[in-house]
A and B are shown apart, each in its own frame.
Chain A
Amino acid sequence: NAGVMQNPRHLVRRRGQEARLRCSPMKGHSHVYWYRQLPEEGLKFMVYLQKENIIDESGMPKERFSAEFPKEGPSILRIQQVVRGDSAAYFCASSPPLPGELFFGEGSRLTVL
């Protein structure tokens, strides 16, 4: 029974390139969250999605960042034209339909050169 799967675990990009981070939730989980952890900071909420629906994206930067959770396939966090300040660990979590515990993936570490 696989947990939340994130890939890639590590991603290196040059400034101006695009980064795509993928997250497959646990089986039976219909809700996906993305959080960002910057060095020396906590987990900052970015976006909360259901299948084919963005519930809350109040934590997403207005430009360059987008997220989706299609009917089929993983959730994708996309960062266009990356800058050095985007370097961080990006964590995905999933939860079942009822409110409660979040189950986290191992994270994707983005380094922008």
Chain B
Amino acid sequence: DQQVKQNSPSLSVQEGRISILNCDYTNSMFDYFLWYKKYPAEGPTFLISISSIKDKNEDGRFTVFLNKSAKHLSLHIVPSQPGDSAVYFCAAGASNRDDKIIFGKGTRLHILP
């Protein structure tokens, strides 16, 4: 039972254009969401998060949008840069501290020159 789904295993985007990574969730108890970036042979690093009381959070080139009614969130990267090529994981958790954080399977982003 996959509670956090990233349906696109990979995505290729031209350098300078916008990258949009999508994520869907099924558990209505989730009330905060995170995006992580992972390079090969390294641990995931935190990018940006959003709580369910907001529908948008922006940090530099990264913006996360949350649509609670659709149980959908997306990460926008603009403009895309070569160093953005990595695997991006969407994650979700419930602020009840006894709940674990669940990750999606990831989307591999390729930024094309």
Contact = CB atoms under 8 A, between A and B. Distances in A.
Nearest to B108: A40
A14 B6 CA distance: 35
Interface string B79-110: 00000000001010111111111111110000
A39 B94 CA distance: 28
Query: Interface residues of B: mostly helix, strand, loop or mixed?
Result: loop
Nearest to B49: A101
Contacts of A56: 98-100
A69 interface: no
Interface of B: 6, 32, 34, 36, 41-46, 49, 89, 91, 93-106
16 contacts: A6-B43, A33-B100, A42-B105, A42-B106, A44-B103, A45-B102, A45-B103, A91-B43, A99-B95, A99-B97, A100-B32, A101-B34, A102-B46, A102-B101, A103-B46, A104-B44
Contact of A35 (B46, B97, B99, B103): B103
A4 B102 CA distance: 19
